[in-house]
Each structure stands twice: as C-alpha cells, then as structure tokens.
Structure 1
Amino acid sequence: MGNEAATLLQRRFSMLLRVKKLDDYYVHVVVGVIYKISIQCFILVVDSLLVVQMNYSRFLTSVSAARETSPIRALTAIMLKSPPSLISLAGGVPNVNTFPFKKASITVNDGSVVEIGEDLMRTALQYSSSQGYPALLSWLTDLQKSCHNPPTLNYSPENGKMDVCVTAGSQEGLSKVFDMLISPGDNILLDEPTYAGTLAALRPLRCNIVKVPADNHGIIPQSLKDILSRWTPGDPKTPKFLYTIPNGGNPTGISLSTERKEAIYKIAREYDFLIIEDDPYYFLQFTKPWAPTFLSMDVDGRVIRTDSMSKILSSGLRIGFVTGPQPLIERIVLHVQTSTLHTSTFTQVMTSQLLHQWGLEGFLQHVDRVVDFYRSQRDVMLSSAEKWLTGLAEWQCPAAGMFLWMKINGISDTEKMIMEKAFKKEVLFAPGNGFLIDKSKPCPYVRASFSSSSPEQIDQLPCELKSAPKLAPKFAPKSAPKEALMPGSETSEPLQQMMC
C-alpha cells in the first residue's frame, strides 16, 4: 500500500468511525475486507457508508431554482465540441476574420515562451463555454483531484459529484454562490473579522449574519454548536451555510487546524448546512504539509470551494474557479450564462497554455517560489514590528497569506488615526472596522499588507505607525497586556508570537 493511499484510507476510515460510531465487531469485519479487495474499492465502500443524501433544492433561492439553460448558450457548447467541418448558422458569433489580433508570444519569467498561434488565437478571441474554456477546465479539475482528492469524485451527478466552474476571479464565484443561496431573512454563519469583499456582497442581500466566535486558531467548534442549538431540527430558518477562510484568513492570517475542520464538518452534517470554503491563500501556506481541506473531507457534497489564481499567477487575469456538488455548480453556470456569459476566453487560453506547458509539477514549483517570496516578506514585517512596536501593539504570526493583523494598544479605533495621521505621512493601512460585520463599531486593529512593498519600505512602515498616533507611554497602557482577544472571541491566548 503506497503512502498516499494509506493516508487516504486512514482519513476515510477515521471519519467513518466518528460518523457511524461502529462497534468493535463491525470494525473487525471492515478491516478484514481490506485483505479481500483493492484499496480503491475499499475507499469506495467506506465512502458509500459515509454519504448522506443531500436535498440541494432546499438551499436554493426561488430565483436560482427558476434559472433555465439559455438555448443560445447551449448551442455554443455544442459548437465547441463539434468538428471543424460543421456548418453552423445557429450562433450569433462574429466572424473571426474581422478581428485585428493574429497571434501572440508571451515570455515567462524563466525565459520560456507561451505561444498562442493563429488557430488558437481564433479560439481565444471568440465566445466560449459558460462553465469555462474546456482545456483550462480539465486542468483545474485535475488540480482539484490531485490537491484534495474529494470523496465525491465518483458520485453520480444528482448525489453531488464534484464539478468545477471557471469564474472572473473568486469574487465573482462568491457573489454568485451568495445569490444562489441567500433569500432575504435567511440566517448565515461566519467568523469575524473577515474579508471585506464578502461582507460587501452579503449586506445588500438582507440576510441575518450570525457571528461565530473564533480565537487565534479560527472558529471554535463548540461555540458553533452552541449557536446552532438555538434552532430545532427541521427549522427552515436554520442557517443555510457557514462561510470561512480556512487558510491565512483575511485579515487575520489565521489558519484552521485539521482537527477543527473535522469537528466543524461533523457539525455541518448534524445540522445540515453547507460550508463555503473561500480559500484564495491555499497556495500561500508557509509550512508543509498543507492542511487537509473541507473539500477533501466532503463525503456528502456539502462543500462549495472557491479558489483563485490572482495570488499566484496574476490578479489582472481574473481567473478563479468554484468547486462543489454538480447540482449547485450547475446553478452557478446558469447564472453566468445570463450575466457575463463566460470569463474572458483570452485570459483562460493564456492561463491554460501556461499551465499545460508547466504541468502539475511545474505549477507547484512556481507556487513554492511564490511562497518563499511571501514568507521572506512576512519575516521582514515581523522583525520590523518587533523592533518598533513591541509593547505598543500586539499581533500573531500569519500562517499563510499576505497580511499582519495588529491590535494597537491604548487606541479604541484606528480609522481616524490612519486616515488623519498615518496617511499624511504617506503611509496607508487598512482600518480594522472594515472587516467587521458592523463596520460602524470602533476597532483597535489595523491590517498591514506585506505583499508588494520592498523590505526597506516594510521596515519603515511600523516606525511610521508608531509615530502617527504619537504612541507615547501616556497613550499606551502602563504595561502592555500579555493577552489579547480576537474581535468576537470568547477565549484568549498570547497574541504576539514572533517565532513562526
């Protein structure tokens, strides 16, 4: 048995024991089966025991449930799969001979060249499938299989078989997921502070955002369960989903442990809600091995995962992708059909050519180089913060991502300090209240990004932050507190941890 297969088996079997609570006799019978059938067959057996039949229709809004396939978009999909000999008078597509672009050669950092020849350029400049450019979609599907090996890979479509849709960045994916699931008055769960773009997308939908307490390790599973106990089983107002950023949370830099993810997933099964795993910093984790994802644990088909190429290839490409159960991905694709039609074909083709040229191994080597860069940037930021802000601010070492989340001692709200004082010194931080559910509340935190500034500039920023509010001893506590609470948390532990 290979190491990967053994690890996969161990994870599946452990989950089976927890979920099904098998007695000793059943355990011995199941273990005995291993010697009679192949490892992959055994994994399928375990998955079949674990699976819960999902009723996806109960999560959909009336608008999403009413979406139907655009007949013209359906014709486009047929044309993409047809041989060149097909004579089509069906689609309202422009004649490619009128396009001014002929071909392109794009030089990569390593000196290699991505070629888009004349024939491929014709494809790149034309309408494409709403679900995604087929070659890119295939590569991304294989990436998800390799990185997460979702249990739903071999399910039937109606039972939540894993599917993928390319979106114009993960933000479009998130927005369409929210539109698919949220009706006015619905209850949804998330931990705070969180990504400001998520809060901006949620507020106009008039849902009730229920804050789940978190500490310096992310969502507290018992607190989540305590909140859910307010609803009785079958209550239509039970929260539809939990939204979280599991790796390198924006703005906190915090990552959920595997144990907490497993506990949260178990609670999701018990109370039948979806998990939206917004993971743009998955490939920016600073330590290996990378933690298992909710998608890798998803035996039911209740996880919707959003990924982004913005942080590792280019934010301007606007390439993101949503992974989840096919019945829900289908709803997202139908929404794309009537909004953007599809993500830019040209950027999809360019990205696809690069990824196929690299292969999975080359892609992961590139990811390692990107991680090395951001880890170095983070370490410079931590060193500078320790030098200039010890005793004046508190922080935790980011486990992934691009941000340092700092609490400024002796100040109840940082927005005025940043906008009126730090900005005048040509230094800009993100005020903490922008990441709160109620952004009108005062917040003593700031988010500092270490992604794009030079090491010299990073070293200067905490010094400017120190001088901007004139943080003298009379403004700071006589002795800096040894512990600090994350906003909304119920437990505390040392926040300033410089050793990563």
Structure 2
Amino acid sequence: MTASTDAIVSNGHGHSSKATATNGTSTSTDERPTALDLSHHLSLLARSRRASPLKDIIRYMAVPGIISLAGGLPPAAYFPFHSVSASAYPASTVLDPETGTPPADSVEVVIPRHKTSDTAFDIAGGLQYTGGSGLAKFAELCKDLTERMWEPVYSDWDILVNSGGTDAWTKVITMLLERGEYVITETQVYPSAQASFIPMGVTAFPIEDDGEGMRADALEAALAGWDESRGRRPRVMYLVPVGQNPLGTTMGAQRRQAIYDVCVKYDVVIIEDDPYTVLQFEPWVVGSKSHPPVPAKTNEDVAAFLDSMVKSFLTIDVQGRVIRLDTFSKTLAPGARLGWFTGSKMFIERLLRGTEVQTQMPSGISSVVIGELLNKWGLDGYLLWITNLREQYRVRRDWMLDALSASFDLVPAESTNVAGAIGLVAYPKGQAHTGPALMSFVPPTGGMFVWCRMYYRTHPQFASFAASYKPEHPEDGDATQAFEAKFWVRLVEALVLLTPGWYFTAFEGEGVSSYGQPGVGAFRLAFSFEPKDLQEEGIRRMARVMTEEWCA
C-alpha cells in the first residue's frame, strides 16, 4: 500500500508548510497529511490485545469530587518519602573532557510529596500506579522535544514513554513480527537487539552497507529479487542511522530519502533506533589535532547545532511508516531507563496496549527526577545541554583517532590496492604501502565507536591456520572467527580490551554466517568511556601487539 503527496516545502527542520494527501485520507488544519492505515503490519499478538479495563478506573479517579472504592492502589501516605532531591549540573555546563571536574554551581531538583507552584511533579502522583503511558506531564515534555527537534510531517502522530531502548525494541518486534519472519538489518547488529528477536524465531535479512550505512541500491535489489520460497518478504526494517552500533556509520539525508522511497515501494515499516542522534560530529582529518570543546552559550548556537544535524526519518515520513525510538540513556543517564516512541497514533495505541501487560508503566521515580530536571532546565536548557554534550564526545572521538594516527600509518583507502578497504587503511608505523595492511576504518562522524576491519589474510600465520582448522563444535565459527578469537586473547594478555566483531554478526539462522570475507574480521573500539591518556595507551598496546604479530 502506497500513497503519493504533493511536494513538501521544508523550512530547514523538515516541517511541511504544504502537503496534500492523495491516499484517501483527510488532512488536518495544519495541512499535514494523516498517516496511512498500516494496521495490516500488526502481528496476531498485537491485533489480539484489548485495552486494560483498569485504565478506566484510573482515569475516573482523577474526576473532581470522586470517591474511589474501586482501585487497589496504596495510599500515597504510605510511600516512605517526604521528598526526593538531587543536585544537577546547570544546563550550560561544559566539562573539561580530560578532568571531568564537576561545576561548582548546581541546579537543585526537589520533588515534594505534593505538588507546589514551583514544581511540575510530586511524590504522591509520581510514585503511584499510572496508566501504561506514565505521567502525562513527562509525556508532554517528550512530545514537545520531538516537535522541537524533528517536526514530523504528518498530523496524527503521537509519542509513548517507555523504559529505554531495549524495552522499546522488544515491544516493537512483538507488535510487528511473527515467528518465521525476517527483519531487515545492516550487516552488523547490536547484540541485545538480536537477543530479543532470535528466541521469537525471527532471523535477520542483512543488507550490504558502506561508510554511510545501509545501501539503498542493495536494499532495492534484495527486495525485488526476494525468493517467495523463503517465506513472506521482509516488511520490517531495523536501523541505527547515527553512529551505528557497531559500524559507527552515519546516514546522510539523501541516503535516508532513498531508503525511505524503497520502503514505500515495498511496504516496509522502518524502526529508527536513534540513541546517538545528538552525537553528530564534524569530520576528522588525518594530521589534525583535537581542540577543546567549543561551548554553546546562546539560542543561536543551539539553533546552529540543530540545523547541522542529519534529520530523523520522521522529517520525510509522510505515511506514518516510521517508528522512532529515542532515549535519555546517552544524554542524561542509562540507569534512568527512560525513552519514548514516536509514530502514528495507530502504532502508538497498540504499543500502549502491549505496555499495559508487559511493563505496566514507565518508572515513576525516574520520571519525576528526570522530569523535574527538564522542568528546571526548560527545553531550551536541555537543548543547550545536548549541544555541549556533542562537543565533549567529539573531543573523545578525536582522542582515539589522533591516537590511531600516532601509532599507525594511515592511508586513504582509495590510494591503496587493499580489496574491500574502507576509509583509512592502517599500516605498521613507518611502513605505509610497504608493510602489511593491518586494518581499515571510517573515521566516525557520530556515535561512540570506531569499527575496524581486520586483515588477518595478511598475517603470516593465517593461511596455514585456516588450512588446518577444523571446528570442534558448530558454534566455533569459521577459521577467521577462530583466528580472531586467538588474537583477541593476545590483546587481553597485553591488557587492552576490544569487542570482537563477530559479536555483532547479523543472525540469519543456525549454521549461517555472514561475518565477511575469508581472512577479514573486525573489532569495535569505543571512545566514549576511557580518558585521553588511557585511550592513547590502549591504542599503543594494540599497535604493538599487531606489529609483533604481523611483522614477526
């Protein structure tokens, strides 16, 4: 099912100033089209869910003057908290990435037992049972933030608060996928995302990617050539478009439009999982040196940051076929376990029905603490915070890339004859073009990771190892994976810990491997956690081990 629209005039944030739907639906007064009816994508489980009858009880309890002898709710007087308080950074804080020294001043966040004129949240309401959508005021903040950042281009969209990205993804796949079906992915997928769908009997349908993420031409070819004997053609796509975990790729605007157009053609629902969306950086150039964070101070600075970002699929989705997953995990705290869905009201209503029986509601204590912080900061303050946060992660990205440049000779891939190389090819220091190609990587413009393609095929011992390799168990993997596992142990012995690439291999079923070319493995390096000196030492240890192994 597809629909066409008149041209959409963008104001720079993706907001439609004119849009006329030709899919038989009416448009709202703001002239944005309404979403298509995509209810045929719902799983049997999602279609079978009914609204919880208890939601009416909770709703009517808010009626002024009502006397409730119905709900089995504990009285707020029995909550053992007079208040909850926290001291937080001012929204304008810019930390020194090397020291991380907290600012001297702070914002005091106090949630009283009962709401006052100075607070938006309270203990009595925040720690009580609520409906599956959680606290209305917190949901309102999330919806306002979505409108400020992305301005969806159809009218009947909504949000639903969830308990973080993993919770959100689990709810989405139970809503859309059946046992035996496929989900479209990139070649490498975050392990926890796969751990959710593999037990459901769902397998990945990986599409070839490049330095910008999934390739639209490869997606078109794969869907056009689908073999019906394999079962139903895939109709759900999972993407991490910014700082893809683990690939580190960020998808540009033209690529997103091309991907979206293919999904319209083949009626695919796009799940846009975007936890790293605010961590979008300027490109890094070999030979450059990291400079300190450039503080944002004004609304104009924030506006420039928002304009510089690659925009969400929501800004081009005129049909309501995108379900976006946002989270506070990378901008405030992962332990808060708070995020939100954005999608058509039909999808949001079905996700709400699932929430009522899966997690009941988002965490009240997290909602009131994070909600009151956002209330104190204001949305302008939160946008200022993430604008400066982006710069601090950019510095950390630069530290790792500078360290790689210091420990290896880096040569543009197009200047080498290394088959399948991406971005920059790393050689032992002082051996550019003359020594063995060790790995290649694309300097990331977003996220927290550098994805390194490892060239074990140039290792002096790989050929003999592969020729004699016989796996003892099917799960041992092929010779490349086994060789990488041994090399990974060498790195651990040298006290540097990397994540092996095969952790992220898209799961296509038992006995099927899509790890890559023979003799080509991968490691994921995270620049988000360790300070500068430890990043530099870790890369030095990595380079020393690789030079010893490849140049022995």
Report TM bin, short chain. 0.7 to 0.9
Aligned to 1:124, which of 99, 123, 126? 126
Distance 1:15 1:292, change over 3 A: farther
Alignment partner, residue 492 of structure 2: 423
Q: 1:314 aligns to what?
A: 333
1:94 paired residue among 74, 92, 112: 74
Deviation at 1:7, TM superposition (A): 2.2
Quote the residue 1:370 is aligned against.
389
Question: In 1, Cα distance between the equivalents of 2:254 and 2:16?
Answer: 14
Given the alignment, which residue of 226, 245, 252 partners 1:250? 245
Distance 1:106 1:291 in 2: 34
- The number of residues matched between the two structures is 435
What amino acid maps onto 2:444 in structure 1?
A: P
- Residues 3-39 of structure 1 deviation map (CA, whole Å, 9 limit, x = unaligned): x9862598859999xx99xxxxxxxxxxxxxxxxxxx
Q: Distance in 1 between matches of 2:546 and 2:281?
A: 32
- The answer to whether the 8 A contact 2:271-2:323 is kept is yes
Seen in structure 2, the aligned counterparts of structure 1 residues 101 and 8 have a Cα distance that, compared at 3 Å, is same
Q: 1:296 aligns with which of 296, 307, 315?
A: 315
TM-score normalised by the chain length of structure 1: 0.81
SS in 1 for 2:336: coil
Gaps of 5+ in 1: 21-39, 155-160, 476-500
Question: What is the root-mean-square deviation in Å for CA atoms of aligned residues?
Answer: 2.7
SS at 1:292 equivalent: coil
Q: 1:61 corresponds to which letter in structure 2?
A: S
Partners of 1:451 and 1:60 in 2: CA distance: 37
Whether 2:459 is the aligned partner of 1:459: answer: no
Conserved 8 A contact 2:197-2:203: no
- In the TM superposition, what whole-angstrom CA distance separates every residue of 1:291-343 from its partner, at most 9, and x where no partner exists? 12111111101000001100000001001111111111111111111121111
What residue is the counterpart of 1:146 in the other structure?
Answer: 148
1:283 pairs, out of 273, 278, 282, with 278
More helix by share: 1
Tell me whether 1:53 sits opposite 2:33 in the alignment. no
The equivalences for 1:46-445 within 5 A come to 47-48=32-33, 53-56=36-39, 58-79=40-61, 81-83=62-64, 85-110=65-90, 111-119=106-114, 120-152=122-154, 154=155, 161-231=156-226, 237-287=232-282, 288=305, 289-390=308-409, 391=427, 392-410=438-456, 412-413=480-481, 415-417=484-486, 419-438=488-507, 441=515, 444-445=521-522
What percentage of aligned pairs have identical amino acids?
27
Q: CA 1:317 to 1:415, structure 2 compared with 1: closer, same or farther past 3 Å? A: farther
CA contact (8 A) 1:402 1:449 kept: yes
Encode CA deviations 1:336-388: one digit per residue, 9 max, x unaligned.
11121111111011111111221121001110221111110000000101111
Q: State how far apart, in whole Å, the 2-side matches of 1:216 and 1:166 are.
A: 32
- Counterpart in 2 of 1:7? 11
Tell me, yes or no, if the aligned pair for 2:162 and 2:168 is still in contact at 8 Å.
yes
Q: SS of the residue aligned with 2:340?
A: strand
SS of residue paired to 1:141: helix
- Is there any run of 5+ residues in structure 2 with no aligned partner, and where? 1-7, 23-27, 91-105, 115-121, 283-304, 410-426, 428-437, 460-479
- 1:189/1:243 contact within 8 Å kept: yes
- Read off the aligned partner of 1:248 and give its amino acid letter: G
Give yes or no for contact 2:187–2:506 (8 Å, CA) kept in 1: yes
Letter in 1 for 2:352: V
1:88-109 CA distances to partner (integer Å, 9 max, x unpaired)? Answer: 1111111222222110221012
